[in-house]
Structure 1
Amino acid sequence: MKTIEIEDDLYHYIATQTRQIGESASDILRRLLLGEQVTSQTSAADVKPETVDVEPVKPAVTLETSNTGTVFDLVSRQDLQAESSVVGRFLYLLSVLARVHKKQFSKVLEIKGRNRLYFATTAEALSEAGSSTNPKQIPNTSFWVITNSNTTRKKMMLTETAVKLGYSENDAERIRDLL
């Protein structure tokens, strides 16, 4: 398998073409470029380039300017499995939610426990609000989250985040179950 680097807008476009959770980038590209008949079990050697009709790719719509996508458009099983810890998966899912709902993501600041903050814009704010919070920055955002809570609490935080961002209870549970 080869690794290629692509720009963010192209990655977002590929991710928005996902038809099912867990579909790999290779499967998506194979489907888009080589047609529906080619599956992930088909190797590159099985495809005869002279018989393939390639449709032009539509220009990418970046998620920063569009709130029409959902987290399910971007979450990849491969990326989740690459995160070896619950904290890594938690941060990854929050990062994807932030990317999809960039303009609304600040609503997470409203999510709090009885005696502690869960989200803040600085690590210091979380540290001051409780002992041993182990704040970590949500990747590619200016938001911080506590990470020393148990998995059940992290799932609750993901569920509340999804609901605040407009997901139905069922979809919020699906997001929670990705953790």
Structure 2
Amino acid sequence: MKTIEVDEDLYRYIASNTRHIGESASDILRRLLQIEPVAHRVEAQTTPSTKGAPAKVGQCIAQMLESEALAEQESAIDRFMHILSVMYQDNPVAFAQASDIKGRKRIYFADDEAALLASGNTTKPKAIAGSPYWVITNTNTGRKRNIVAQLMAAMGYPHSLIERVCHSI
């Protein structure tokens, strides 16, 4: 994902054409410019669960919030890592969009530790339990919330659930 600067009036125009909470600027522009969506996003939204029926969006996440497992995590890093692990379990195909979430100078997710170490001096990468992904952990709690919110929105979680999860970090 690339960062671009646009004039304030263009930003307001793009934002005014939002159809639902969590819709990205890229999705809005694709719709307005009538450009086909990226293939992996379409697949992630329509992939059935392993049982053959469509997966309930956020079922694992909602169960995590109701259980004591998240509350038992002692630090923001531990809660962040636990949430990412559950998100991967909930929808591994859609979680692949994590690689699109980046900062100005750093990448946040990779499929190996070396890629994260190469993206900054003090990234402190950790493996996300039960997944093939790694994430940087040397960010403040606000940035961790932002990373989770961006990923959850890209994965199609409802805004109310995103807010609850982010407040739990």
Relative to the length of structure 1, the TM-score reads 0.61
Q: Greater helix percent: which structure?
A: 2
Aligned AA (2:56): T
Deviation at 1:126, TM superposition (A): 0.3
Q: Identify the residue that residue 55 of structure 1 maps to in structure 2.
A: none
Deviation at 1:102, TM superposition (A): 1.3
Change (3 A) 1:166 1:102: same
Note the aligned Cα RMSD (angstroms): 2.1
Report if the CA contact (8 A) 1:63-1:69 is conserved.
no
Deviation at 1:81, TM superposition (A): 1.8
Deviation at 1:109, TM superposition (A): 0.6
Deviations along 1:32-62, whole A, 9 cap, x unmatched?
xxxxxxxxxxxxxxxxxxxxxxxxxxxxx86
Aligned AA (1:124): A
C-alpha distance in 2 between matches for 1:65 and 1:100 = 14
Q: Identify the residue that residue 62 of structure 2 maps to in structure 1.
A: 72
Change (3 A) 1:158 1:73: same
Deviation at 1:75, TM superposition (A): 3.6
Percent of matched pairs sharing the same residue: 31
Q: Identify the residue that residue 89 of structure 2 maps to in structure 1.
A: 99
Deviation at 1:64, TM superposition (A): 10
Q: Identify the residue that residue 110 of structure 2 maps to in structure 1.
A: 120
Aligned AA (2:123): T
Equivalent of residue 134 in structure 2, options 144, 163, 173: 144
C-alpha distance in 1 between matches for 2:71 and 2:101 = 27
C-alpha distance in 1 between matches for 2:51 and 2:62 = 13
Relative to the length of structure 2, the TM-score reads 0.64
Change (3 A) 1:124 1:177: same
Deviation at 1:74, TM superposition (A): 3.7
* Structure with max Cα Rg: 1
Equivalent of residue 129 in structure 1, options 81, 95, 119: 119
Change (3 A) 1:74 1:66: farther
Could you list the runs of 5+ residues in structure 2 that have no partner in the other structure? 1-48
User: Residue 73 of structure 1 aligns to a residue in which SS?
Assistant: helix
C-alpha distance in 2 between matches for 1:73 and 1:172 = 14
C-alpha distance in 1 between matches for 2:161 and 2:89 = 17
C-alpha distance in 1 between matches for 2:149 and 2:52 = 22
Q: Identify the residue that residue 76 of structure 2 maps to in structure 1.
A: 86
